[in-house]
Amino acid sequence: MEKHILFVDDSPTIRSSVSFCLRNAGYRVTEAVDGKDGLEKVQSFKDKGDTLSLIITDINMPQMDGITFISEVKETEFKFVPILVLTTEAEESVIKKGRDAGASGWLLKPFQPEDLLWAVKKVVWPK
């Protein structure tokens, strides 16, 4: 069964490049434009009985930032789905907030496709 990833980022360019990378690696990808849209997608997955293997989110987004989005997801049926953060934010206090909210890992932009795929494989295919 193909693994389903929700990718949340407000940049169309980043969404396109990350989705391309993930799809070429065999993952099914759903995109969301910000945290609010991401939560709506999560609700629609629940309503359809769809599964999620991973969520990847940015931090700095309009309408709902990534930290709030992570916290909100952790209050849903998808609370055990791993969440990777892909962001420009490298400040230790922001990383701590993300981890406290429930982030499983932290990747910095600009990203290398092989680094992203390594991190995805690590959390999607547990030992």
pLDDT (tens digit per residue) in 6-34: 999 999 999 999 999 999 999 999 999 99
Q: Letter for the amino acid at 95?
A: I
The CATH code of the domain that includes 26 is 3.40.50.2300
pTM: 0.95
The total of structural domains in the chain comes to: 1
pLDDT at 127 over 50: no
Identify the bridge partners of residue 54 per DSSP, sorted by sequence position.
5
Token readout for 53 is: 């293997």
Cα–Cα dist 99/81, whole Å? 14
The candidate with the shortest Cα–Cα distance to 68, out of 42, 91, 34, 92, is: 34
Range of the domain at 11: 4-124
Average pLDDT, integer, range 88-108: 96
Q: Residue for token digits 């709902």? A: 64
The pLDDT tens digits of the residues spanning 73-89 come to 999 999 999 999 999 99
